[in-house]
A and B are shown apart, each in its own frame.
Chain A
Amino acid sequence: DADVTQTPRNRITKTGKRIMLECSQTKGHDRMYWYRQDPGLGLRLIYYSFDVKDINKGEISDGYSVSRQAQAKFSLSLESAIPNQTALYFCATSPSGTHNEQFFGPGTRLTVL
């Protein structure tokens, strides 16, 4: 079984809809991250969390919110989806400590019409 899972893997939605992307991990890591990938732009950080009570905004948090329901779960919400949020979304985890390797989920491809 995969250590970092994301659901759904693909989603098509309409402008204005609320949508939640979920991430779960079995690695026992404290740190979790959400990134989005756009063609030609690399990956950009949306939010990150060091533990259940510690959530921080990343470079492009506007239009997004997150919830760390448990150590193993980190959800990303789009309250009112818009077309320019069409992208590939990745969740990642890493252990505590400094500068550790991040382990990525398989990604969620989101299309907002």
Chain B
Amino acid sequence: AQKVTQAQTEISVVEKEDVTLDCVYETRDTTYYLFWYKQPPSGELVFLIRRNSFDEQNEISGRYSWNFQKSTSSFNFTITASQVVDSAVYFCALSEASTGYALNFGKGTSLLVTP
């Protein structure tokens, strides 16, 4: 069963629009971590954020912000004032002790930002 669901396969926005990428996860662990990675067209994986299950504070880093809600098992990612360079595939991932802290990835959301 898919433990991390990214329901949006592809999103297309015009530059300067705000966009939210959804992530819903499933786990029985009480302690777990959630991650977001970015994969630009060049193919490498770029770490964006790590959040533990006990910290529900929202986080903001420049134009990026993350909203973690345990009640709905969601860890959504918002890009404010999107730019063309934000075009990439974004992956949400779950880390659990039961799988050796390996990352269980969602299928990714492909974001296209057009001028």
Give chain A's interface residues, CB within 8 Å of chain B.
31, 33, 35, 40-45, 48, 50, 56, 58, 88, 90, 92, 94, 98-104, 106-107
B115 located at the interface, meaning its Cβ lies under 8 Å from any Cβ of chain A in the complex: no
A41-B89 Cα distance, complex, nearest whole Å: 12
State the Cβ distance, A112 to closest chain B Cβ, in Å.
19
Q: How far is the CA of A27 from the CA of B33 in the complex (A)?
A: 22
CA distance A33 to B93 in the complex (A): 15
- Set B52, B100, B108: member contacting A56, Cβ < 8 A: B100
**Cβ–Cβ contact B50 & A101, under 8 A:** yes
Across the interface, do A102 and B9 meet the contact criterion of CB distance under 8 Å? no
When distances are taken between beta carbons in the complex, the residues of chain B under 8 Å from A98 are: 31, 33, 97, 101
State the CA gap A90–B104 with chains docked (Å).
Answer: 14
Please name all residues of chain A whose beta carbon is closer than 8 Å to the beta carbon of B44 when the two chains form the complex.
104, 106-107
Of the A-B pairs whose beta carbons lie under 8 Å apart in the complex, a sample of 18, sorted by A's number, is A31-B100, A35-B105, A42-B4, A42-B105, A42-B108, A45-B99, A48-B100, A90-B45, A92-B103, A98-B101, A99-B31, A99-B52, A101-B35, A104-B37, A104-B45, A106-B43, A107-B43, A107-B44
Nearest to B2 among chain A residues (CB) is A42
Q: Tell me which residues across on chain B come within 8 A of A45, comparing CB atoms.
A: 99, 102-104
- In B61-115, which residues have CB < 8 Å from any A CB? 91, 95, 97, 99-108
Interface centre among A35, A41, A45, A102 (most CB of B within 10 A): A102
Across-interface contacts of B105 in A (CB, < 8 A):
35, 42-44
| Given A40-B9, A106-B44, A107-B43: A99 touches B101 (CB 8 Å cut-off) | yes
Given A41-B107, A99-B32, A106-B44, A33–B102 Cβ distance below 8 Å? yes
Residues of B with Cβ closer than 8 Å to A? 4, 9, 31-33, 35, 37, 43-45, 47, 50, 52, 91, 95, 97, 99-108
Report the minimal beta-carbon distance from A92 to chain B, rounded to whole angstroms: 8
Question: Nearest 10 pairs between A and B by C-beta?
Answer: A99-B33, A42-B105, A104-B45, A42-B107, A43-B105, A99-B95, A45-B102, A48-B102, A42-B108, A48-B100
